[in-house]
């Protein structure tokens, strides 16, 4: 079935060095799902058993769009007592993530090649994640393409579903209008709270009176995507949604 995609799939033959890395180590890091209709889909009924994949029960963070693995590998190395799952559709990026993980000597990381918008409702049960990260997703800059943006009301509901109570959805972008969209999506979701709602807006923001953004999270590394945007004169904005309790929506502070 046709579906609106939040990405353009870019595939090419892997360089020999990455091909060797994947042959030697891919099975240790890459989850191979049953496929649905299309290479980046997963079949209905396919589930990721996190405890089985990681061989333990530990807090799990999911990164959606892990790129070349700069963020998730750094996190896996920094927090060995936590586990990390990545969803990515770019095959060379997956190979580079595996290569970085091998070089860093981390084993608490897994990658699944899948379209997050299609896969997230399928692969994970309710309340299984401590954090979800959506850092620098494709901005789809043209107005007629905004419908392709990953961060939407429907996607927020799925993120809230898989987050444990008090869990955090962390977002960042360096496109101003997408940042405001992210913030608005978080605030529109009845299962998420923005702990920075009501904060004064940053005076550097181009649209006055629109606060509610989070300070930069200390766990978010500066990737080449952010550096490229900074070189072009763009500034990153962070947003966060905290999963409200499933019974009695009392506010919670950021953990």
Q: Catalytic: which of 49, 83, 130, 138?
A: 138
The rounded distance, in Å, linking the Cα atoms of 136 and 226 is: 8
Inter-residue contact 39 to 31 (CB < 8 Å): no
Distance CA 74, CA 220 (A): 9
**DSSP three-state, residue 57:** coil
Instruction: Enumerate the known binding-site residues for substrate.
Output: 142, 174, 223-226
Instruction: Please report, for the chain, how many H helices and E strands are present, in that order.
Output: 8, 8
Which neighbouring-strand residues pair with 30? 111
* Known catalytic residue at 130: no
- In the three-class reduction of DSSP (H, G, I as helix; E, B as strand; rest coil), residue 231 is classed as helix
Could you give the angle at which helices 70-78 and 91-104 cross, rounded to 10 degrees? Answer: 30
For residues 46-58, b (16+ Cβ closer than 10 Å) or e, as one string?
bebebeeebeeeb
Q: Which residues are annotated as a binding site?
A: 63, 88, 115, 138, 142, 174, 223-226
Contact 164, 127 (CB under 8 A): yes
DSSP-assigned beta bridge partners for residue 112: 31, 87
CB count in 10 Å sphere of residue 120 = 20
HSE at residue 172, side-chain half, CA atoms within 13 A, is 24
Strand ranges (DSSP E) for 35-161? 60-64, 83-88, 109-113, 129-135
Q: Which residues are annotated as a binding site for S-adenosyl-L-methionine?
A: 63, 88, 115, 138
Q: Which residues are catalytic?
A: 138
């Amino acid at each position: 079935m046709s579906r609106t995609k939040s990405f353009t799939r870019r595939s090419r033959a892997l360089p020999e060095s990455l091909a060797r890395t994947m042959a030697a180590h891919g099975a240790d890091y890459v989850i191979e799902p049953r496929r649905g209709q299309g290479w980046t889909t997963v079949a209905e009924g396919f589930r990721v058993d996190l405890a089985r994949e990681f061989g333990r029960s530990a807090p799990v963070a999911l990164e959606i769009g892990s790129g070349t693995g700069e963020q998730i590998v750094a996190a896996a190395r920094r927090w060995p007592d936590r586990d990390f799952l990545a969803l990515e559709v770019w095959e060379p990026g997956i190979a580079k993530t595996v290569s970085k993980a091998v070089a860093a000597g981390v084993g608490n990381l897994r990658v699944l090649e899948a379209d997050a918008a299609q896969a997230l409702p399928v692969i994970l049960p309710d309340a299984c994640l401590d954090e979800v990260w959506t850092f620098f997703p494709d901005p789809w800059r043209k107005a007629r393409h905004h419908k392709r943006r990953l961060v939407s009301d429907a996607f927020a509901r799925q993120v809230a579903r898989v987050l444990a109570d008090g869990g955090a959805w962390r977002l960042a972008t360096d496109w101003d209008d997408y940042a405001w969209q992210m913030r608005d999506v978080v605030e529109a979701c009845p299962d998420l709270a923005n702990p920075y709602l009501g904060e004064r807006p940053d005076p550097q923001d181009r649209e006055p009176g629109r606060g509610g953004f989070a300070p930069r999270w200390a766990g978010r590394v500066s990737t080449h995507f952010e550096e490229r945007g900074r070189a072009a004169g763009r500034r990153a904005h962070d947003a966060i949604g905290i999963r409200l309790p499933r019974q009695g929506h009392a506010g919670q502070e950021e953990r």
